[in-house]
Structure 1
């Protein structure tokens, strides 16, 4: 992973935070139209990074909001999904941060003595 990937990932973090905030505000204000664009944006960005659980919930919010605009009602049933979206987004960011942190150990280190195993007398020769 190079610096360009880290930069794009920071855009995802920034844009995603903005989208989540807009979704939460739209729910508080009962603004159905205000749910569509941030959910659509987050869905697309999450899919680009392979964050499919996040994208799936964002897609549900977007499609439900679009239907509710047509039927002229507010989607109260999405409250739990917007709350879940925040949790999934935070979890996704934590996973990306962990995977891209250069100070983090990259898995188990081999044991001293060669090729990940302890050197022992194998029954021949003298040691």
Structure 2
């Protein structure tokens, strides 16, 4: 399943979260970045170790935090991983079925986070125009303005 730009985020949910969190929004988004990176790494490590139990909490955490920001496809993918891991625990089985989901997890997380951060702070994400652009002084490209 491929996700395209605007389909990665439920924008009304994102706006609602931004409005509800107010001035703390940027800080909470930063926590999502930190926790997400850790959760994705933990899920991948658990898969390498075939340890379903070690997948449950990071997948659950990622699911909840993604939903908070309207990142529904990411939340759904994390939920699928969590469900498979919980089922494997009940059946005392290895989480082989989760592999195809986990392979998609990191790229989806990165793409989703990029969109969230771009929308949260659109000015900071923009790159300077080569040559300075209209009305802007050219930025030196090397040491000493060379």
Higher-RCO chain (CA-CA 8 Å, sequence separation at least 6):
2
- Are residues 1:11 and 2:37 paired? no
1:80 to 100, 118, 135: 100
Offset at residue 96 of structure 1 (A): 1.2
TM-score normalised by length of structure 1: 0.77
1:23 — aligned with what?
A: 43
- Are residues 1:57 and 2:77 paired? yes
Q: How does 1:35-114 map to 2 (within 5 A)?
A: 35-103=55-123
- Count of paired positions: 105
TM-score normalised by length of structure 2: 0.67
Partner Cα distance (1:92, 1:9) in 2: 12
Offset at residue 102 of structure 1 (A): 4.6
Q: Please list the CA deviations of residues 62-111 of structure 1 after superposition, one character each: whole Å capped at 9, or x if unmatched.
A: 01111111111112121120121111110111101211225257xxxxxx
Q: Where is the helix percentage greater, Structure 1 or Structure 2? A: 2
